[in-house]
Amino acid sequence: MWTDMTAEWMREIEPYNLHKMTLRKKKACLLVVDMQNEFLASSGMDFFHNAEEIVPNVKRVITACRRAGVPVVYTGHRHEDPAVDGGMTAEWWPEIKSGRCLIKGKKGAEIFGPLAPGKDERVIWKQRYSAFYNTDLEAALRGMGVTDLIIAGILTNVCCETTARDAFMRDFRVFFVADATASSEPDLHLAALKNLAYAFAYVLTVDSLLKQM
């Protein structure tokens, strides 16, 4: 199983994961990235098991944050008209360009039911990999006084990593949860974790994060 590899991944990144940080709980926010039906429901266009396997860990993090009073913000990737708002994302992914995947109003673009946002929790809808690109995410985080951003979700090496890098460049302290993120392949996940630990984020496990709550 995907999460069974966590201990090995953490050993692999240890030489790079030198910037350990303590979570400022009162200034923290959890960002749940792109946990949508398209990837998590068996009927989804891009369903993959690695994403499904991290659902319990993502749920643990969400539950712990809610109990600790740490705000939870979701992101979702969707397009209204890929010919207009798709850009290189649509050029890169034929299923988006054709309008078969991640389209506003279609069930596949909705947040996966078991991880659904609470009634007062915000969803940031985006059209590129980074949750900061052409959205009001940064303004929302600044308005809440957030300095520490916890990242969970999918894909590790695409939207999660791009968002983490952008957060670092905006001077947020990034906590990247290794076993509450997933990619399509273990090698891609590990490479992203190494890159992030080296220069952008403190990579930690769910258990380590929850000890700081």
| Residues pairing with 86 in the sheet | none
Among this protein's residues, is 34 annotated catalytic?
yes
What's the CA gap between 123 and 114, in Å, rounded?
A: 15
Among this protein's residues, is 136 annotated catalytic?
no
What's the order of all strands across the beta sheet hosting 202-204? 122-126, 72-77, 28-33, 148-154, 173-182, 202-204
CA proximity to 160, closest of 20, 32, 24: 32
Choose the catalytic residue: 29, 65, 101, 159.
Answer: 159
Please name the residue ranges forming H helices in 69-185: 82-85, 87-92, 94-97, 137-143, 161-169
What's the CA gap between 147 and 102, in Å, rounded?
A: 30
Choose the catalytic residue: 29, 34, 160, 166.
Answer: 34
Choose the catalytic residue: 29, 46, 65, 126.
Answer: 126
Among this protein's residues, is 179 annotated catalytic?
no
Report, as residue numbers or ranges, the catalytic residues.
34, 126, 159
